[in-house]
Structure 1
Amino acid sequence: MGEATVAGADSRTADIVPGPGGVMTDEVGVVTGELTLRTELSDGQVTLRVQYKDADEWYAVTGARAPLADPAGLDAVHTIAVGLLHRPEG
C-alpha cells in the first residue's frame, strides 16, 4: 500500500471495505464499497479521509478529526480507525 502525500502532513493509508451503511463523509454523504482510508496528521490534528479505491478525490470522514499531542500516536490511531471502519463481513 502506498503512502498518501499531503503537504506538511504525515499519513497512513489502508484499503478498507465498510460494513452496511458505509462511511459518512462531510462532502458527499455516505460512501460504500472498496475504499482507501487515510489517517493524516497535520498541525497537531489527526483527520480521517476516505476515497473510492484508486479515485482522485478524498472526503473527510464526518466527526473524525481530533487533536493528537504526540505524533508517535499516529500509527495507533490509524490501526484503531481501520479496525472500526473495515467490516467486510458486515
Structure 2
Amino acid sequence: MTWASWTTTGVFAGRGGVLTEEAGVLSGDLTVHTTWSGQEANVAVQYSGGSDWFTVTGSPVHCSSEEDSRLLHQEVVDAVRGDAAATVPHSRPHSLPRTMPTDTVLSEEEPG
C-alpha cells in the first residue's frame, strides 16, 4: 500500500486556533502533520517542540488520492493560520498547487 505524509512546522495559529478532539482549542506555535494511506487522510497537530499529537476535529477524512491529501494538508495549515477555529474540511479540491511551500517536508514511502 502506498502512503505519504507532510509536516509543516512553525504554524502560528490565528485568533481561533485549531480545534482538536483530545484537547479542545490549541493556539500558539504549532506543527501540522498529515498522513495519507489508501483512501483516508489523518491530520494531527502538536505544539512545536512538543511530544503529544492531537487529532484535528474532522479527521480522518476520505481522500481519494495522494494529490488531494497534499492539498488537504495545505488547506489545514492555511485554516490554522486564519481567524476562525480550524478543523479539517470535508470537500476535496482536485488539483495540486503549482508550487509547494518551502516550510513543508514531504515523506513518501511504499512499505515493503
Q: Calculate the TM-score normalised by the size of structure 2.
A: 0.63
Equivalent position of 1:12 in the other structure: 6
CA contact (8 A) 1:17 1:87 kept: no
Between the aligned partners of 1:84 and 1:71, the Cα distance in structure 2 is 20
Correspondent of 1:74 among 65, 69, 72 = 69
Cα shift at 1:27? 0.7
Moved over 2 A (4+): none
Between the aligned partners of 2:4 and 2:51, the Cα distance in structure 1 is 19
Between the aligned partners of 1:82 and 1:22, the Cα distance in structure 2 is 11
CA contact (8 A) 1:22 1:33 kept: yes
Matched position secondary structure for 1:63:
coil
- 72-81 or 26-35: bigger deviation: 72-81
Between the aligned partners of 2:30 and 2:13, the Cα distance in structure 1 is 8
CA contact (8 A) 1:26 1:59 kept: yes
Cα shift at 1:46? 0.8
Specify the structure having the higher radius of gyration (Cα).
Answer: 2
Cα shift at 1:51? 0.2
Correspondent of 1:30 among 22, 25, 33 = 25
